[in-house]
Structure 1
């Protein structure tokens, strides 16, 4: 098992180095092809292109927007970790619902489950082969 993890780690490291090399080469090629003729700036090397990528990551928080660079203008935090910009509101809603759920009786929980099934069925997300309670009463006549 340890041998597999070691090989997997080496493979991951190799792909990461290959990916960074390729992205650095693409940035260098685009910079050298476009900006010297447009703005009159000098050409950059591959190492400078990697530095430019790192600088853009620090300034703009790109590459997924998680963790280190996930702050908005003025330093406001949109969420924490992988929750992203709107995930914190979803997380708060889930916490509030979990608290309500823990305070309900089993009968109230069953009633709430049924209400959500009816709502979801209305939007076509429920099981289509399971008739509603109203439909079952009508089919008996």
Structure 2
């Protein structure tokens, strides 16, 4: 329970620090690149940070996602290693329809 109580202020401090970094980067880069773009204040930077997390990142974090990909990659590799040469050839034949143009779509 103590860890959870300590975790909340750390999250809030991280959001505050990242908002400051977003504000600094925006004000240093964007007005120089695009004419008509104004500088933003701290609260607009925090809103932009939260909006970007909602649109592009979600709120789950990356640790579990990366671990899951690595685990599934190992499983696919193990299945590939267990295939016979005939099964691998059939796999390539079946998957080829997604990568090659259909005969009626070929330009001659």
TM-score, L = length of structure 1: 0.41
Name whichever structure is richer in helix by fraction: 2
The Cα offsets for residues 112-136 of structure 1, whole Å up to 9 and x where unpaired, read as xxxxxxxxxxxxxxxxxxxxxxxxx
Query: Over aligned residue pairs, what C-alpha RMSD do you find?
Result: 3.5
Give the deviation of 1:59 after TM superposition: 2.3
Give ranges in structure 2 of 5+ residues lacking alignment.
80-108
In 1, Cα distance between equivalents of 2:33 and 2:70: 43
In 2, Cα distance between equivalents of 1:42 and 1:16: 29
Give the deviation of 1:53 after TM superposition: 1.4
Q: How many residues align?
A: 76
Bigger relative CO (Cα 8 Å, ≥ 6 apart): 2
Q: Which residue of 2 aligns with 1:90?
A: 72
Whose radius of gyration is greater, 1 or 2? 1
In the alignment, is residue 34 of structure 1 matched against residue 29 of structure 2?
yes
TM-score, L = length of structure 2: 0.52
